[in-house]
């Protein structure tokens, strides 16, 4: 059978774009891609990139205070959200243009419309046109979900925060994952009075317990009204905002309410079920270690598979798919020891096992420290950083590293290389410290604080 394309990609996010560019530009495949919204996906348009720019913007108020303590004669004005948002929108437009240019340079045909799957080799475009391809790649990502009660009351999701016309005076953020915590810190830094509810016992479930507690303490110290073990039981739109009643009996009106309680894969209405592709309980596309679905011609990468929902992981999955199918280089995406960062204030960088997970599997040693860094101690701030290594008592390999500190994301990238290579605690010990920097503590931790 003759096909219109060798590959048709549905979804213009990081994973889909990487697969399309490599398959076409490096391996000469005939490739088309459909995107119904904006090129760049969650990361570029409504996730990592705009969020990180908001993190930068939110950090200037304390930086100006510190500058005064260091002898600079400076005064902070008020934060101009409309001016920042205009620059933010312009930057996202620029990045979308970069993505489009990359696809064009690689010879990929782009369809700016929704596409659905008709069968194992056929895609239907929103125009009604159908096209065929030897291989289909589903890279449609995920989206925030809203409970029915919140939707009826007009609650926002993280997507909406990038499009606010004005910053509210008060905001309730519901959720305790990294998205909820990051936006709580961002908006607090921009001058919004932030309250956060999380129904669990501690924020950032799934991360290292000691790090979670350290971050929660700092968030409260920085002015975030954080309540754990708390959830919303009633809410409704009223004059001036949203009235909310919580499980602890609290009642209050917030100008805006944001739900960050989870994301779901974008598979609704794609037509996958009719082809024999299997979907999981939350709608995620089930794939094997090669990113292949139950239908041999259909593959999926990125957040739509709910493996590890991180942009660099989606990029690796997309590249591995192209290498395998079009480059005659069978490559499995590697999901082991993936470093990541949570852009709270302070930041949290992590790679490998948590203390809790490691302790359940084997005898370990825990090396940890918490201290006031030089830069903020000088100006009298009480901020403390935390650094922690989880070590296998038998093999001496470093199983995990967790850092809560300014620029922890930068530090964990480099620690991740060593741990991925199988570094032992003694390898860390043999490395000479850089002084005076926070990261030197990673190579000067001599005695375990806990074993077991």
187: left (phi over 0), alpha (psi -120 to 50) or beta: alpha
Distance CA 437, CA 301 (A): 39
Residue with tokens 């739509």: 304
181 annotated to a ligand binding site: yes
Give the Cα separation of 208 and 342 in Å (integer): 12
Q: Measured at the alpha carbon of residue 316, what is the angle toward residues 313 and 321, in degrees to the nearest 5?
A: 125
3-state SS assignment for residue 32 = strand
Would you say 178 is a known binding-site residue?
yes
Task: Please tell me the distance from the alpha carbon of residue 59 to that of residue 63, in angstroms, as a whole number.
Answer: 6
Cβ pair 224, 171 in contact under 8 A: no
- 180 labeled binding residue: yes
**In this structure, how many other beta carbons lie within 10 angstroms of the beta carbon of residue 121?**
21
Can you tell me the distance from the alpha carbon of 362 to that of 451, in angstroms, rounded to the nearest whole number?
Answer: 11
Q: Name 92's bridge partners.
A: none
Rounded to whole angstroms, the Cα distance separating 237 from 398 reads: 51
Residues 6+ apart with CB under 8 A from 140: 10, 11, 13, 16, 265, 266, 267, 270, 302, 304
Phi-psi region of 75 (alpha: psi -120 to 50; beta: other; left: phi over 0): beta
401 has binding-site annotation: no
Instruction: Pull the structure tokens for residue 291.
Output: 């990113």
Residue identified by tokens 């108020």 is 61
For residue 220, give the nearest of 114, 344, 61, 320 by alpha carbon: 344
User: What is the number of alpha carbons within 13 Å of residue 367 lying toward its C-beta?
Assistant: 23
Bridge partners of residue 172, in order along the sequence: 195, 257
Question: Does 177 count as an annotated binding residue?
Answer: yes
Q: Considering 111, 319, 335, 435, which one is annotated as catalytic?
A: 435
The response to whether 182 counts as a known ligand-binding position is yes
CB 329 within 8 Å of CB 320: no
Per the annotation, the verdict on 111 as an active-site residue is no
Residues of 361-390 as b/e, b for ≥16 C-beta within 10 angstroms?
eeebbbbbeeeebeebeeeebebbbbbbbb
Rounded to an integer, what distance in angstroms lies between the CA atom of residue 318 and that of residue 230? Answer: 39
175 labelled ligand-binding? yes
Annotated binding site for FAD: 52, 303
Annotated binding site for NAD(+): 175-182, 262
Annotated binding site: 52, 175-182, 262, 303
Catalytic residue set: 435
């Amino acid at each position: 059978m003759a096909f219109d394309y060798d590959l048709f990609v549905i979804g213009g996010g990081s994973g889909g774009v990487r697969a399309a560019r490599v398959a076409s530009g490096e391996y000469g495949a005939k490739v088309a891609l459909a995107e119904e919204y904006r090129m760049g996906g969650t990361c570029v348009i409504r996730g990592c990139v705009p969020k990180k720019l908001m993190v930068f913007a939110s950090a200037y108020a304390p930086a100006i205070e510190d500058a005064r303590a260091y002898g600079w004669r400076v005064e902070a004005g008020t934060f101009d959200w409309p001016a920042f948002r205009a620059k933010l929108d312009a930057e996202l437009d620029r990045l979308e243009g970069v993505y489009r240019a990359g696809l064009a340079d690689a010879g990929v045909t782009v369809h700016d419309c929704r596409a659905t799957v008709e069968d194992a080799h056929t895609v239907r475009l929103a125009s009604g046109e159908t096209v065929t391809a030897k291989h289909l790649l589903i890279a449609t990502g995920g989206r925030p979900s809203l409970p029915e009660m919140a939707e009826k009351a007009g609650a926002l999701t993280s997507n909406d925060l990038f499009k606010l016309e004005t910053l509210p005076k008060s905001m309730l953020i519901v959720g305790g994952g990294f998205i909820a915590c990051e936006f709580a810190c961002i908006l607090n830094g921009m001058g919004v009075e932030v309250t956060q509810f999380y129904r669990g016992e501690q924020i950032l479930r799934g991360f290292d317990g000691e790090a979670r507690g350290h971050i929660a303490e700092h968030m409260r110290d920085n002015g975030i009204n954080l309540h754990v073990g708390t959830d919303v039981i009633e809410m409704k739109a009223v004059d001036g905002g949203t009235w909310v009643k919580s499980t602890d009996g609290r009642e209050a009106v917030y100008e805006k309410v944001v739900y960050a309680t989870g994301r779901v894969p974008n598979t609704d209405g794609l037509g996958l079920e009719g082809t024999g592709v299997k979907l999981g309980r939350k709608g995620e596309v089930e794939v094997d270690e090669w990113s292949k679905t139950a239908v041999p011609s259909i593959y999926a990468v990125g957040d739509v598979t709910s493996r590890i929902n991180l942009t660099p992981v989606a990029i690796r999955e997309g590249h591995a798919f192209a290498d395998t199918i079009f480059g005659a280089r069978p490559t499995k995406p590697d999901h082991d020891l993936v470093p990541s960062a949570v852009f709270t204030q302070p930041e949290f960088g992590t790679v490998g096992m948590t203390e809790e997970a490691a302790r359940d599997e084997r005898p370990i040693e825990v090396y940890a420290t918490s201290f006031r860094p030089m830069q903020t101690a000088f100006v009298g701030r009480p901020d403390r950083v935390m650094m922690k290594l989880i070590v296998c008592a038998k093999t001496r390999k470093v199983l995990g590293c967790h850092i809560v500190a300014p620029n922890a994301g930068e530090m964990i990238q480099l620690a991740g290389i060593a741990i991925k290579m199988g570094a032992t605690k003694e390898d860390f010990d043999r490395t000479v410290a850089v002084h005076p920097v926070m990261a030197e503590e990673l190579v000067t931790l001599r005695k375990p604080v806990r074993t077991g």
